[in-house]
A and B are shown apart, each in its own frame.
Chain A
Amino acid sequence: MYNKKWFKLLVWSSSVFFFFLSGCVLIASLGPSPNEGQVHQWMAAMMGAMEKSLMGFSMQLEEDSQLAYIIYSSGHLILPTAIGGFLTGLLVRSLKTYGKKTK
């Protein structure tokens, strides 16, 4: 598979994309700070996102008290579930290690 043309094209295209993105991020990070016009342009675009996109929609959902209660209640389940999952993973791993040693 590694010698197939489509695979090499896939790898090269994704690599070039990420290299260009990293270059843009480096240029933006190490370059000059944005000027007033760029800041206003970004803020105006963010206001547009709040009006037209899912950002504004999610802000309206937060005003729904029933949904807020559901989200808050489900948050209490997350920590015990995450801890239980982690401990289960450790248990499975230790059982497999024990199974290999006793063979």
Chain B
Amino acid sequence: MRINLDFYIHWIWTATFGVLAITGFALMGARYGWIMNYALPLADYLHRTLAALFVVLLTLSLLLEAFRLTGENKPAVWLMVGTKPYQVFTLITTLLLVLSGIFIWVCMEWSAAGMAFSMMVHEIVSFLALGSLIWHIYQKAHAIKT
């Protein structure tokens, strides 16, 4: 049984996104802080550390897709980015999350308006991404039915 790189990237991405989601929602506001029992120093540390890993995974996925398209074009069914509609949606939401996240990280003191806009984008896209993930689970559930 051969397991390709795209399979590993998919599940590492899933685990990373899961921790980013739970820590991110806890950091979002007092309404959601109870999700991690208000352990915000830990949530902040995990969120920022795994965000760096998330960017690495995104870069790796984009490189893999670029090599796949310009090379033998072997199918990579587990890859998070690609030409199928949900892959394009994942790419767009990931880019929005990464770019707004970088802005939040870097520009906390510089521009209050930019910070507020980035946080709004980051929060809305995170809701969309989580909702789409539930849809994705339902859509692919047929694969493990016996």
Contact = CB atoms under 8 A, between A and B. Distances in A.
Interface of A: 1-4, 7-8, 10-11, 14-15, 17-19, 21-22, 24-25, 28-29, 33-34, 38-39, 41-43, 45-46, 48-49, 51-55, 58-59, 62-63, 68, 71, 89, 92-93, 96
B32 interface: yes
Contacts of B137: 15, 18-19
A21 B130 contact: yes
Interface of B is mostly: helix
B41 interface: yes
Interface of B: 1, 3, 11, 14-15, 18, 21-22, 25, 27, 29-35, 38-45, 48-49, 66, 69-70, 105-110, 127, 130-131, 133-134, 137, 143-144, 146
Contact of A55 (B1, B18, B35, B44): B44
